[in-house]
């Protein structure tokens, strides 16, 4: 929507503070959700869209309390159904800028069906997926993204379930925009939300989020000062996939079709050998490889992993209505009532 935003409205001059509601924020101190809230408010202020054009729609979970903290139109719906409700909001009023908020349980367990179908339809909205690999609100049960073996209240002997990689699910549903951030990196999260809002269609922004109470340290390797540079790769379209504390590590594609981490300067590897990120590649293969990397074997890919242009659902919907209206002789209900076979009783 950023195009319309920038064109059709006079500058609105909002600051992040304008998006803060009068409600006290109730997340646990130290919860990663605070950082995301910050990022969203910053991004919204930067979008130059009047406040009344935003609708923030969430499901149920700690993260889904989000709308109450935003001074915009907001809808805290029911567990798992936020993507469906948001799809209806956008179809009803395509002028609105939709931010949809879900936890990993909300979007991928109870709401998995709505999540993949929203993506498949490509409804223009930005879905913030708060991935803390746990059910926070219900106090610590494993989620569809919990690592196998994890001990939680409902897996006292370790989970025996294989976790989802959310990106895999999204790409399987033909996702056109997938980005990943980490709660502590407010600058990156803000940038990604802006990019997601600008993208027409369903944009998924997975935020690796820390639940200090029930799954503290789930993402330590990429948040810890000591290790983070070695275990995260921030992707930029058109730039080489280089990372590491010393910026000397990179990715190349092996002959077996797998990504390989290499060190520049070793075995004759030069910067020129490192892959260049093409977020706009319609073929999802590389996006799949990148989004599936996990630490410590690989760096975790952050940034915009995939951003491919396509028409959105509601654009097509509006166009179809226009096309049919242009050729139909039925212009109002009275026309319809009197169309087809009728007869008069005198």
Question: Rule CB under 6 A: which residues touch ligand TPP?
Answer: 60-63, 79, 103-106, 130, 132, 134-138, 143
Reduce the DSSP state of residue 223 to 3 states and report it: helix
Position among 15, 246, 263, 328 found at the interface with other proteins (CB under 8 A): 328
Minimum CB–partner distance for residue 327 and other proteins (Å): 8
Please say whether the beta carbons of 61 and 43 come within 8 A. no
Cβ of residue 184: shortest distance to Mg ion, in angstroms? 17
- Say whether residue 213 binds ligand SF4 (CB under 6 A): yes
Task: Let me know: does 45 contact 14? Beta carbons within 8 Å.
Answer: yes
Supply the DSSP string of 32-76, one letter for each residue: THHHHHHHHHHHHHHHT--GGGEEEEE-SSSGGGGGGGBSSEEEE
Separation CA 51–CA 96 (nearest Å) = 10
Q: Is the peptide bond prior to 296 cis by the omega test (within 30 degrees of 0)?
A: yes
Q: Does position 142 bind ligand SF4 by CB under 6 A?
A: no
DSSP-derived secondary structure letter, 27: S
How far apart are the C-alpha atoms of 179 and 303, rounded to whole Å? 5
Minimum CB distance to ligand TPP smaller for 115 or for 130: 130
- Binder to other proteins among 44, 45, 86, 204 (CB under 8 A)? 86
Shortest gap between Cβ of 135 and ligand TPP (angstroms)?
4
Binding residues (CB under 8 A) for other proteins: these are 21, 23, 50-53, 55, 57, 60, 67-68, 70-78, 81, 84-93, 95-96, 113-114, 117, 317, 320-321, 324-325, 328, 330-334, 336-338, 340-346
Binding residues (CB under 6 A) for ligand SF4: these are 27-28, 31, 33, 62, 132, 136, 211-214
């Amino acid at each position: 929507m950023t195009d319309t935003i920038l064109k059709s409205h006079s500058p609105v001059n909002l600051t992040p503070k304008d998006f803060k509601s009068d409600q006290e924020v109730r997340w646990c101190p130290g919860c990663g959700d605070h950082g995301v809230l910050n990022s969203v408010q910053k991004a919204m202020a930067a979008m130059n869209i009047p406040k009344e054009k935003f609708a923030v729609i969430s499901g149920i979970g700690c993260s889904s309390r989000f709308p109450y903290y935003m001074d915009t139109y907001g809808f805290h719906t029911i567990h798992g159904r936020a993507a469906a409700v948001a799809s209806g909001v956008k179809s009803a009023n395509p002028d609105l800028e939709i931010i949809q908020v879900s936890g990993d349980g909300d979007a991928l367990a109870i709401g998995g069906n709505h999540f993949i179908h929203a993506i498949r339809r490509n409804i223009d909205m930005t879905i913030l997926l708060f991935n803390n690999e746990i059910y926070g609100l219900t106090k610590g049960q494993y989620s569809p993204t919990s690592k196998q073996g994890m001990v939680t209240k409902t897996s006292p002997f370790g989970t025996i379930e294989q976790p989802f990689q959310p990106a895999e699910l999204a790409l399987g549903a033909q996702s056109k925009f997938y980005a990943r951030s980490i709660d502590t990196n407010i600058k990156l999260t803000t940038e990604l939300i802006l990019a997601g809002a600008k993208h027409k269609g369903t944009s998924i922004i997975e935020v690796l989020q820390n639940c200090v109470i029930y799954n503290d340290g789930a993402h330590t390797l990429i948040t810890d000062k000591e290790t983070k540079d070695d275990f995260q790769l921030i992707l930029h379209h058109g730039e080489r996939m280089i990372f590491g504390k010393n910026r000397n590590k990179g990715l190349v594609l092996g002959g077996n079709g797998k990504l390989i981490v290499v060190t520049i300067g070793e075995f004759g590897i030069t910067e020129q050998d490192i892959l260049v990120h093409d977020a706009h590649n319609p073929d999802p293969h590389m996006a799949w490889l990148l989004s599936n990397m996990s630490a410590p074997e690989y760096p975790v890919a952050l940034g915009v992993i995939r951003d491919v242009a396509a028409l959105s659902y509601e654009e097509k919907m509006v166009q179809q209505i226009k096309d049919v209206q242009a050729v139909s002789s039925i212009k109002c209900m009275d026309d319809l009532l009197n169309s087809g076979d009728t007869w008069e009783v005198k």
